[in-house]
Amino acid sequence: MKCNGVETSTRDFIEIEGDSVISRVDPVLQATENACWIAPGFIDLQVNGFAGVDYNAASSPLEEIGRSIRAMFSTGVTRFFPTVITGAPEDMLAALRNLARAREALAEGPAMEAFHVEGPHISPHDGPRGAHPARWVRPPDLEEFRRWQDAAQGNVRLVTLSPEWPEATRYIEQLTRQGVVTSIGHTRATREQIDDAVRAGATLSTHLGNGADAVLPRHPNYLWEQLAEDRLAASFIVDGHHLPDSFLRVALRAKGVERSVLVTDAVMPAMCAPGPYRLGEVEVELKDDQRVVLRGGTRLAGSSLRMDAAISNVMRVAGLSLTEAITMATMNPARVGRIGGRVRGLRPGERSDVVRFRVEDGGIRVLETYLNGDRVFAA
């Protein structure tokens, strides 16, 4: 790999070279005319499916999973966590086995950095439960987690759960000791339960502001408690549908860019035509305005967001700089998701995951994407 561009973090014109890791980063005194931007490849910690492929379906063919990852490369994403949500125990295990096979067998497999299990240990209540099927919500179970890890070949690295379960504190402690990131989400937890979860090792809030009751007490409530907790980072779905602009701006002020992460929470209809789709046992519809909703209703059921669009949106809505927005899609998720070789940006010794792009009309247009030094997308 050898490429150049204006680095988003320093605004210097640089040339980088390497194979699977970056071996050289040199400043170039004279920038080429109309030089593009260069940044670490984007990271997405929450992808349920993409480009017509459902990662929760054990029947998804490996070649189709590979095709969906190639589509993701076109958005600048080089590492992501395929996400398995609440379902029947055997269905979740089968989905994890299928993803583990894909990670091992596909040329695109290295992009599947690790797996995220969102649920089933979430709030059973309407509102916080979101679109997760109520009949499969259940309390934290260490034996079930061990079965997940066996099926996933040890690749489960992020688990989203609600601290409102009596078993949650011990569960979080045990997962933390095994190097697994635990995140608070889809919760109706009290202040004390959130504090206990953080003390036990929880470090993240999953898509903060979503998976919540429609009406909350002024104070205390579980959104304020998570926003105020400096030991928690937070992920946000910035698609114009999941969060009002005002909430996003306030949440980013509370967390600061340094504790904020962009995720897409994309589901199978992402990058597809509007129409009806099925996510496991859940019937959904992709609307013309790109909302993914439960069929026949208005409740959101994941998103059709792309990471390049999320970066563009957070700059526009929250007034962030390009440097800040890129940090929320690269180094921050690498740190939160414990992704080695990706926390220092474009530096020698880091993985050769690179994206080159232009900013046009306020939006990101990806030109090239490199994974482990191999060019995996060219516009």
What mean pLDDT comes out for the span 359-367?
92
In CATH terms, 41-342 corresponds, of 3.40.50.880, 3.20.20.140, 3.30.1330.10, 3.40.1190.20, to: 3.20.20.140
pLDDT for res 361: 87
DSSP helix/strand/coil, 144: helix
Q: Amino acid identity of 345? A: G
pLDDT band at residue 166 under the 50/70/90 scheme: very high
* Domain edges within the chain: 41-342
pLDDT tens digit sequence for 118-149: 999 999 999 999 999 999 999 999 999 999 99
pLDDT tens digit sequence for 230-251: 999 999 999 999 999 999 999 9
pLDDT tens digit sequence for 53-68: 999 999 999 999 999 9
What mean pLDDT comes out for the span 320-332?
98
pLDDT band at residue 36 under the 50/70/90 scheme: very high
- H or E, element range at 3: strand 2-7
User: Out of 44, 239, 265, 353, which one is annotated catalytic?
Assistant: 265
Question: What are residue 305's phi and psi, to 5 degrees?
Answer: -70, 145
pTM: 0.97
Poorest-confidence range of 42-46, 74-78, 278-282?
278-282
pLDDT for res 353: 98
The fraction of the chain above a pLDDT of 70, given in percent, is 100
pLDDT for res 119: 97
Integer-rounded Cα Rg, in Å, for the chain is 20
Looking at the predicted structure, is the pLDDT value of residue 84 above 90? yes
- H or E, element range at 365: strand 363-371
265: annotated active-site residue: yes
What is the C-alpha separation between 296 and 124, in angstroms, rounded?
22
DSSP code for 237: E
Give the residue ranges of DSSP H helices in the chain. Answer: 62-73, 89-105, 142-151, 168-177, 191-200, 222-228, 245-255, 307-318, 322-329, 331-336
Q: In 10 A of CB 341, how many CB atoms?
A: 16
Looking at the predicted structure, is the pLDDT value of residue 30 above 90? no
pLDDT band at residue 171 under the 50/70/90 scheme: very high
pLDDT band at residue 227 under the 50/70/90 scheme: very high
Looking at the predicted structure, is the pLDDT value of residue 33 above 80? no
What mean pLDDT comes out for the span 295-313?
95
Q: In 10 A of CB 123, how many CB atoms?
A: 26
Provide CB contacts within 8 A for 298, sequence distance 6+.
none
pLDDT band at residue 35 under the 50/70/90 scheme: confident
Looking at the predicted structure, is the pLDDT value of residue 83 above 80? yes
Looking at the predicted structure, is the pLDDT value of residue 258 above 90? yes
pLDDT for res 293: 95
Q: In the numeric block, which tokens belong to residue 162? A: 């609600």
